[in-house]
Chain A
């Protein structure tokens, strides 16, 4: 009798887990379904699928410049963050710095601050200094929010790196920077790729900074998406959204191949 009750409780618990997980995944699933809808209403297609909304994407004149801008800003910001962040992680691991934990906490603090607050702070600062180029200010701002990811991934990776290998390379005659470049960088390449990927995804997904720092001609993908959603949209927006989900999923699969699911989960948690 008691075993039966426990079994029933176990099943009820399982149902709860599945239902709540579905509640979290539902919004993404519905967007994907709607993008294949044969009709222009936002509903789950019941009879047949259609690719018409994907074909219509080509006609959206303002979409492609936004995609391009987001990709450019994301790429430049990721490279900048990779350089600053990986050097910094190395300095934190190997240097004799005062309170490395405090410095690490400081490096993470841009992620603690609401995006809107960061956007406003940068807007008024750039305005006050007369620095008005939207493109450059976007790149500068995106480096601030991507450096934390790079530091976090590489700080963890460097903790597992065996630095006696550097000593060995030095003994064999390499100078210090060359030893790092020839031994450390190839060894940690998967971590560099992961860090860059995270940085790129975070930059492309960020709306708050572009909301304040962008202008009429500097519109990133999230802002363009918000604009499209504002005009009573058809499933074309769902098609864009589905492609974005597919792109992120593809990057995550690449990341999983590179460093393994368990570590990816452990790091981003």
Chain B
């Protein structure tokens, strides 16, 4: 029996929130995008070709893509085995691991990035560790290097990679592995032909999340990369708050938005093609 509540116009209740988002979210983003591709009432990519024509700017974009790719790739390499190992845990241990993954995510990003500036310092714990293990014989520079930045980014973004992979792996019935084994498939073959294709949507989702977040990160590159690390997010902030060049800032912002959107759309298209194939 459908309840008589249906006679009340419940749908109207969604209108205020939708109207609010339209006004304070959709309109600003549309203004930003339109403002960067419409010059003198003509549709043009002139802003972007002008920006990318400068070799300094091109290096900024390259550095951004490189940083985002390295972060996502390392997160994948480290996170996949982690997600895989989570499958074998008891329910209690699984809850504990979940807490370890989710707790840091709810804590301030600035606090965690600050933690890494301490860890990476010349006199910091990481250098002490490396010295103690005789990996190096004198303290090495880690803070304000790309290595340090990527290291910190991995540690902070890893949960974003692990969770979607874990959820994808969890849907694979264990009988599938046994069936493969019974048919004579070796562990490597089973991994490549059974596990990996089924885990692919999770891998792609995790990769896209980490890539997109790293590409648009500001706090981490500022605190761990230092002034020498020029990437798009810093360039945007500088052009609005220091150089007062809003037009250039808007161009870089839209370019960043395009990159992030492209990665998200591309990966989800790949994932759904895999599922339907």
Contact = CB atoms under 8 A, between A and B. Distances in A.
- Centre residue among B11, B28, B100, B155 by max chain A CB count within 10 A: B28
Contacts of B215: 114
A20 B158 contact: yes
A143 B159 CA distance: 26
Contacts of B135: none
Interface string B225-242: 000000001001100110
Contacts of B58: none
Contacts of A174: none
Contacts of B46: none
Interface stretch (B174-182, B190-198, B246-254): B246-254
A121 B31 CA distance: 7
A187 interface: no
Nearest to B11: A95
Interface string A105-138: 0110110111111101111110110000000000
Interface stretch (B49-57, B114-122, B199-207, B269-277): B114-122
Contacts of B13: 87-88, 90-91, 95
Contacts of B17: 84-85, 87-88, 107, 147, 151
Interface of B is mostly: helix
Contacts of A118: 25, 28-29
A166 B264 contact: no
Leading 6 A-B pairs by shortest Cβ distance: A95-B11, A27-B115, A91-B14, A114-B216, A91-B13, A88-B17
Interface stretch (A49-57, A60-68, A188-196, A206-214): A206-214
Given A42-B121, A107-B21, A207-B219, A265 B98 contact: yes
A229 B13 CA distance: 44
Contacts of A115: 216, 218
Nearest to B158: A24
A76 to B, nearest CB: 14
B256 A26 contact: no
B148 interface: no
Given A91-B12, A164-B3, A116 B106 contact: no
Contacts of B27: 125
Contacts of A207: 109-110, 218-219
Given A26-B115, A88-B14, A164-B3, A262 B106 contact: no
A27 B112 contact: yes
Contact of A268 (B28, B106, B125, B237): B106
Interface of B: 3-6, 8-18, 20-21, 24-25, 27-29, 31-32, 35, 78, 81-82, 85-86, 88-89, 95, 97-119, 121, 123-125, 152, 155-156, 158-159, 163, 167, 212-213, 215-216, 218-219, 222-223, 233, 236-237, 240-241, 246, 249-250, 253, 256-257, 260, 264
A237 B240 contact: no
Given A16-B82, A107-B17, A117-B257, A31 B111 contact: yes
B108 A241 contact: yes
A178 interface: no
A34 B212 CA distance: 32
Interface of A is mostly: helix
Nearest to B15: A91
A143 B102 contact: no
29 contacts: A17-B89, A24-B158, A27-B118, A27-B155, A27-B156, A30-B125, A43-B124, A84-B17, A88-B17, A114-B257, A116-B216, A116-B218, A117-B32, A120-B32, A124-B35, A143-B20, A163-B3, A176-B5, A211-B237, A225-B114, A226-B110, A226-B219, A238-B114, A238-B118, A241-B114, A245-B108, A265-B98, A269-B102, A269-B167
Contacts of B213: 114
A121 B18 contact: no
A219 to B, nearest CB: 13
A262 B92 CA distance: 11
Contact of A140 (B24, B98, B115): B24
B85 A16 contact: yes
Contacts of A92: 14
B155 A95 contact: no
Interface in A158-172: 163-164, 166-167, 170
Contacts of B16: 84, 87-88
B240 A87 contact: no
Contacts of B4: 167, 170
